[in-house]
Amino acid sequence: MSAKITPPDPGLLSLNTATVREKWNLREMIEGCARHGIRGISPWRDQLAALGVKEAAKMIRNSGLTVTGLCRGGMFPAADRKGRQAALDYNLRAIDEAAALGAQCLVLVAGGLPPESKDLKGAREMVRDGIGETLEHARSAGVPLAIEPLHPMYCADRACVNTLSQALDLCDQLDSGKGGALGVAVDVYHVWWDPQLESQIERAGDKRLLAFHLCDWLVPTTDLLNDRGMMGDGVIDLPLIRSWLEAAGYRGFHEVEIFSARNWWKREPGDVLGVMKQRHQECC
Amino acid sequence: MSAKITPPDPGLLSLNTATVREKWNLREMIEGCARHGIRGISPWRDQLAALGVKEAAKMIRNSGLTVTGLCRGGMFPAADRKGRQAALDYNLRAIDEAAALGAQCLVLVAGGLPPESKDLKGAREMVRDGIGETLEHARSAGVPLAIEPLHPMYCADRACVNTLSQALDLCDQLDSGKGGALGVAVDVYHVWWDPQLESQIERAGDKRLLAFHLCDWLVPTTDLLNDRGMMGDGVIDLPLIRSWLEAAGYRGFHEVEIFSARNWWKREPGDVLGVMKQRHQECC
């Protein structure tokens, strides 16, 4: 079925800078995108801090790149009040940086259990409250917040929002008017297995679909964190999932985010960008 | 909250033999359970084949052990008709072995994608059809089939049934009368992260809750397959999940299944059984 789907618009390709983070700094990433005709970029905050937000914003603007997201905010659960306040401050700063870049969204990775805690319900309530307390600032700054459900294998230590359904429940609770300030980032790596994926993408609709991240699930996967595959090297039916997003009205970028310690991080980043462009056309 | 829950009945402890599989054969496992006053056992088919089904059944009977499950059937998806037929035969034999042991259930691990396939929907249909074709034989043999949803990180290569909700949908489709021939195995390792866990355990009810497997989720987890923790060493709120099963009417065994290449498999199995008994009382 998916073989019949037309290749995606190459102009929609975006580089999540995690993909080439081991060998390039943000300046080289921006220049690399420009050189390869990649029109979107999604930087990480540590890279942004190293270059300076102002300088990065200027370079990105001058290169004509769209900032398809800033990675990342979130990490709300904490052991105490002080920790929760620190998380809130961290998110307010992230929103300001995203605004300075003109980013299409700030990606939120919820955060896992606080140290020593087994209270998953409590952690999830902290995420809900944290997003709630961040939302007004995001609205004023014109930066939509994109909750990214992470694969259930990250529930304990990275994100206790683990399905699209759960992320959309949060959206409905906190932004029932669907004003555009809150939505989701759909990363195929995290959600491809979900029996409810198609129905939840439809439920999200274009108002809530703020970002679409691509990579692939390798068999075998040898590391929980840094063994993601290039599109086409794994088992995810990427054209099918893209078709679901498009049916729901999504017209945004396709952001490639590959954590790959044993393969792609070791290669010359310019080559990685070349393969990425090709696979985007052939496998997505 | 969970601190207030009373410790479980020690008579409900069962050993899934995967926990000590590196150093003991089935004969030693049966003798070990008897020596330690553990009343339940759940063997794997390779161990059973090595000892012989008849001899194993006799030894288990003479030791007064309850067979809380046989591991395992399932693995339904296949590339072609011949492969699907082989899977079916494999399951019919597994049912006969479970019957010979008087096992309380045959645990079904669905199976993942066939080689080279990205058709997850198709694989899931093969699982549904495979269980459907197996069910009548299971009914005649008096062996309930327990669908075990596996963690989503195993979706590609081990099991494309990944949530309790999905497993219960299969039960409803194939055994709408809730006659007791089809149900689920709830393994905390696979389902602890699921936001719908409590509601789906309630939905299952005692008619569908055929087995309860214990271990723990370690932080960090260093291997996708063989880095499970002993109860109490990880982040799962085990008493809370047990309380949900009990509220749903479950009165069965608590089967400890720990795949642990870096720790428990290296230890003297008698010591592992001792720790298991203690942690069952203190942490479950």
Q: What is the pLDDT of residues B86-122, one digit of tens each?
A: 999 999 999 999 999 999 999 999 999 999 999 999 9
What residues have CB less than 8 Å from B276, skipping those under 6 apart?
A: B13, B15, B19, B38, B230, B231, B256
Q: Per residue in B112-152, pLDDT tens?
A: 999 999 999 999 999 999 999 999 999 999 999 999 999 99
> Is the Cβ pair A166, B195 closer than 8 Å?
yes
SS3 for A235-254, per residue?
Answer: CCCHHHHHHHHHHCCCCCCE
The helix or strand, by DSSP H or E, that contains position A42, with its residue range, turns out to be: strand A40-42
pTM of the model: 0.97
Alpha carbon distances (Å) from B101 to A196, B5, B66: 38, 34, 9
The per-residue pLDDT for range A125-170, each reduced to its tens digit, is 999 999 999 999 999 999 999 999 999 999 999 999 999 999 999 9
Give the tokens for residue B145: 């089939």
Chain A residue numbers touching B234 (CB-CB < 8 A): 156
Which residue in B has a C-alpha nearest to residue A114's C-alpha?
Answer: B235
Q: Which residues of A touch B222 (CB under 8 A)?
A: 224
Amino acid (one-letter) located at B253: F
Please tell me the distance from the alpha carbon of residue A111 to that of residue B223, in angstroms, as a whole number.
Answer: 21
Taking CB atoms and an 8 Å cutoff, what residues of chain A touch B120? 192-193, 237
- A174, A177, A180: which is closest to A125 by C-alpha? A174
Q: Which residues of B touch A119 (CB under 8 A)?
A: 237
Q: What is the pLDDT of residues A84-106, one digit of tens each?
A: 999 999 999 999 999 999 999 99
- Kind of pairing, strands B209-214 and B254-256? parallel
Mean pLDDT of B255-270: 98
For A103-133, the pLDDT digits (tens) are 999 999 999 999 999 999 999 999 999 999 9
| Contacts with B224 from chain A: Cβ below 8 Å | 153, 220-222, 224
C-beta atoms of B193 and A120 within 8 A: yes
- Asked whether the beta carbons of residue B219 and residue A155 sit closer than 8 angstroms, the reply is no
* pLDDT attached to residue A265: 98
Q: Rounded to a whole number, what is the distance in Å from the CA of B113 to chain A's nearest CA? A: 8
* Residue of B187, B223, B235, B241 to mutate, testing the A interface (most A Cβ within 10 Å of its Cβ): B235
pLDDT tens per residue across span B25-74: 999 999 999 999 999 999 999 999 999 999 999 999 999 999 999 999 99
- Rg of the Cα atoms in chain A: 18
pLDDT at B84 over 50: yes
Chain B residues within 8 A (CB-CB) of chain A? 2, 113, 117-120, 124, 151-153, 155-157, 160, 162-163, 165-166, 192-195, 217, 219-222, 224, 234-237
Residue B193 and residue A113: Cβ atoms within 8 Å? no
Supply the Cα-derived Rg of chain B in whole angstroms: 18
CA distance B163 to B135: 21
Residues of B in contact with A219 (CB under 8 A): 113, 156-157
What are A161's strand-pairing partners? none
Q: What is the DSSP track for A51-87? A: H-HHHHHHHHHHTT-EE--EEEEE----SSHHHHHHH
Residue A58: both structure tokens together: 């200027």
Does A77 sit behind a cis peptide bond, omega within 30 degrees of 0 on the bond before it?
Answer: no
Contact residues, chain B, for A221 at CB < 8 Å: 153, 224
What does DSSP assign to residue A147?
E
Does residue B3 carry a pLDDT above 70? Answer: no
Give the integer Cα–Cα distance in Å for B16 and B280.
14
Taking CA atoms, what residue in B is nearest to A166? B195
Strands (E), chain B: 13-16, 40-42, 66-67, 70-74, 106-109, 145-147, 182-187, 209-214, 254-256
CA distance A165 to chain B (A): 10
The pLDDT of residue B2 is above 50: no
Res B5: pLDDT = 75
Tell me which of B120, B157, B187 to substitute to probe the interface with A (most A C-beta atoms closer than 10 Å). B120
Q: How far apart are CA A252 and CA B63, in angstroms?
A: 64
Whether residue A1 has pLDDT greater than 60: no
Cβ distance B152 to A124 less than 8 Å, yes or no, reads no
3-state secondary structure of B106: strand
For the stretch B177-205, pLDDT in tens is: 999 999 999 999 999 999 999 999 999 99
Task: Kindly report, residue by residue over B267-278, the tens digit of the pLDDT.
Answer: 999 999 999 999
Contacts from A26-35 at CB under 8 Å and sequence distance 24+? A26/A50, A26/A51, A26/A56, A27/A51, A27/A59, A28/A269, A29/A269, A30/A56, A30/A59, A30/A60, A30/A63, A30/A65, A31/A63, A32/A269, A32/A270, A32/A273, A33/A63, A33/A65, A33/A273, A34/A63, A34/A64, A34/A65, A35/A270
CB–CB of B151 and A151 under 8 A?
Answer: no
Q: Are residues A221 and B221, on separate chains, in Cβ contact within 8 Å? A: no
Q: A67-77 burial by CB neighbour count: b if 16+ within 10 A, else e?
A: bbbbbbbbbbb
Q: What residues of B are in contact with residue A153 (Cβ under 8 Å)?
A: 151-153, 221, 224
- Residue of chain B with shortest Cα separation from A159: B193
Residue B93, Ramachandran bin (φ over 0: left; ψ between -120 and 50: alpha; else beta): alpha
Q: Which amino acid is at B246?
A: E
Is there a contact between B152 and A156 if contact means CB atoms under 8 Å apart?
no
Q: Do B111 and B74 form a contact (C-beta atoms < 8 A)?
A: yes
Mutate to test the interface with A, among B1, B2, B117, B153 (most CBs of A within 10 A): B153
Which residues in chain A are closer than 8 Å to B193, comparing Cβ atoms? 120, 152, 155-156, 160, 162
Q: What is the ipTM of this complex?
A: 0.96
The pLDDT value recorded for residue A200 is 98
CA angle B242, B244, B245 (to 5 degrees): 65
Q: Do A124 and B219 touch (CB under 8 A)?
A: no
Q: Which residues of B touch A193 (CB under 8 A)?
A: 120, 152, 155-156, 160, 162
- How far apart are the CA of A202 and the nearest CA of chain B, in angstroms? 17
CB < 8 Å to A166, chain B: 195
Beta carbon pairs, A and B, within 8 Å = 79
